[in-house]
Chains A and B, each alone.
Chain A
């Protein structure tokens, strides 16, 4: 499909969507009335800028099902994500929404090279979280074999990977590293498994993490992007080029805005990703602010796909730390740590305020085989990491060397920041 044809299709779908929410979701009708907008004012995709944004707070305020555009009887599934504060975020899907979801997820898997002959282990949590069931139905829809391992029982997981000759793995990147470590502990290596493709998402990760996962598990690791508010995994995905994630643009319309002003930014400029669900009917969202910071990439990908791509998520505008006035992303710290082979990819950031001055402490795990009896060498190692962090972050951090396997690790989304500052 050419870009022009696509934009035409997006425009038609947007018009239908606006008509749907105006008549069925009081929240959107009120918002549009405030802006003096009627569905007829939205004719082409370019008109999207006239529409209001939707935020996580709107979902929370309309808890539990205030944003549905369909009677509850049409909803066949509900997912929920844990809200950071207050109510959880509820999303409802119609049968048709689920059909679209598995279609886009299968599309992602195809882009990674997964075929009917593959066995894919889904190590995302099954349940209210969209990761597990989302990936699950995508694998089935493609006709490959799904192994619904979920999270938790790592030992059994490794056993099944090995005994069944599992070739694909879908989970969070931090769980992939956790698996690699568990494998190593059992005296096994990538050679004992047949894994070849990994689909990793649900948390930001870095190129260095990709290299580490690929090396330790002997696979090709691809990003899968999604969020429950919009759909779940499958909203965007990398292709073999690993150069940005392709958005399933026929279903999800992307914009990038300045997070401060809400102004739409031209292609190629970094800002907050905003997504509109063009085809969902259960709980469609207009211009949902994802808080994910990225850049839309102009031009056709080397793989031939014409769908627009976005660059690796640089962090979330809400997990961004401001320390002594400097923006710090945990992913920056992570990339520095992964550059140094002496450290395991586990870290913890502790931000505090002492005598009115912000402090950043970076706790990092020493790899057992990199410990030496030489105190001078150990102090040098600590100093080296401190200097690298300073040059990347532009602020100095106090490095604390931690014992192997001592930092808290989660099998799902990693929690790596403790902010102890009490802001007046």
Chain B
């Protein structure tokens, strides 16, 4: 099953906290491939895909961050109008709900990180779509 370990970090809403994470990872040569921030009035959850997830967990825990790993699915599809729609339609038709997702496009390709309600079902139906399911190394 091609899932990727995503790093989730608990952050208080105060200046410079995201940078504290970025700095800690940068110092250890860990690259951030993608991230998104979910926020409330007083705290947020920073979700990251990084080059070395195990090392990143150690680095951040040593700095007292609360960190958990979550399985997500990462896909790559053509960076053209309507490409994502077909994928989402397929998932919705099979009762796979999306808890959250984030994406970034680069040249001809678009990469999408999805946290689905059911990982197995999500992967199964995605394999029939015009998209590539990525492994961590491919990001």
Contact = CB atoms under 8 A, between A and B. Distances in A.
Contacts of A403: 10-12, 64-66
Nearest to A405: B64
Contacts of A84: none
Interface string B25-63: 000000000000010101101010000000000000100
Interface residues of B, number: 21
B12 A402 contact: yes
Nearest to A401: B43
Residue among A367, A403, A404 facing the most chain B CB atoms (10 A cut-off): A403
B64 A371 contact: no
A118 B136 CA distance: 57
Contacts of A367: 66
Contacts of A406: 12, 64
A247 to B, nearest CB: 43
A378 B12 contact: no
A343 to B, nearest CB: 12
A401 B68 contact: no
A402 B40 CA distance: 13
Interface in B61-107: 61, 64-68, 70, 99-100
A246 to B, nearest CB: 42
Contacts of B10: 366, 371, 378, 401, 403
Interface string A139-178: 0000000000000000000000000000000000000000
Contacts of A374: 99
A368 B64 CA distance: 8
Interface in A346-389: 366-368, 370-375, 378-379
B2 to A, nearest CB: 19
B8 A401 contact: no
A307 B2 CA distance: 71
B66 A368 contact: yes
Interface size of A as a range: 10 to 19
Interface in B91-137: 99-100, 115
B38 A368 contact: no
Interface string A36-56: 000000000000000000000
Given A401-B12, A403-B10, A406-B12, A378 B64 contact: no
Which among A366, A371, A400, A404 has the highest number of chain B CB atoms within 10 Å?
A371
Contacts of A404: 64-66
Contact of B70 (A373, A378, A401, A402): A373
B66 A371 contact: yes
Nearest to B64: A405
Given A402-B12, A403-B10, A372 B42 contact: no
Contacts of A371: 8, 10, 66-68
Contacts of B66: 366-368, 370-371, 403-404
B67 A379 contact: no
A380 B47 CA distance: 20
A100 to B, nearest CB: 46
A378 B38 CA distance: 12
Contacts of B8: 371-373
Given A366-B10, A403-B11, A406-B12, A372 B68 contact: yes
Interface-central residue, B67, B68, B100, B115, by most chain A CB under 10 Å: B68
A373 B68 CA distance: 7
Given A366-B66, A403-B65, A375 B45 contact: yes
Contacts of A370: 66
Interface in A395-422: 400-406
Interface of B: 6, 8, 10-12, 38, 40, 42-43, 45, 47, 61, 64-68, 70, 99-100, 115
17 contacts: A368-B65, A368-B66, A370-B66, A371-B8, A372-B68, A373-B45, A373-B68, A373-B115, A374-B99, A375-B40, A375-B100, A378-B45, A400-B43, A401-B43, A402-B12, A403-B12, A404-B65
Interface of A: 366-368, 370-375, 378-379, 400-406
Given A371-B10, A371-B68, A379-B40, 10 more contacts: A367-B66, A371-B66, A372-B8, A374-B99, A375-B38, A378-B45, A401-B42, A403-B11, A404-B65, A404-B66
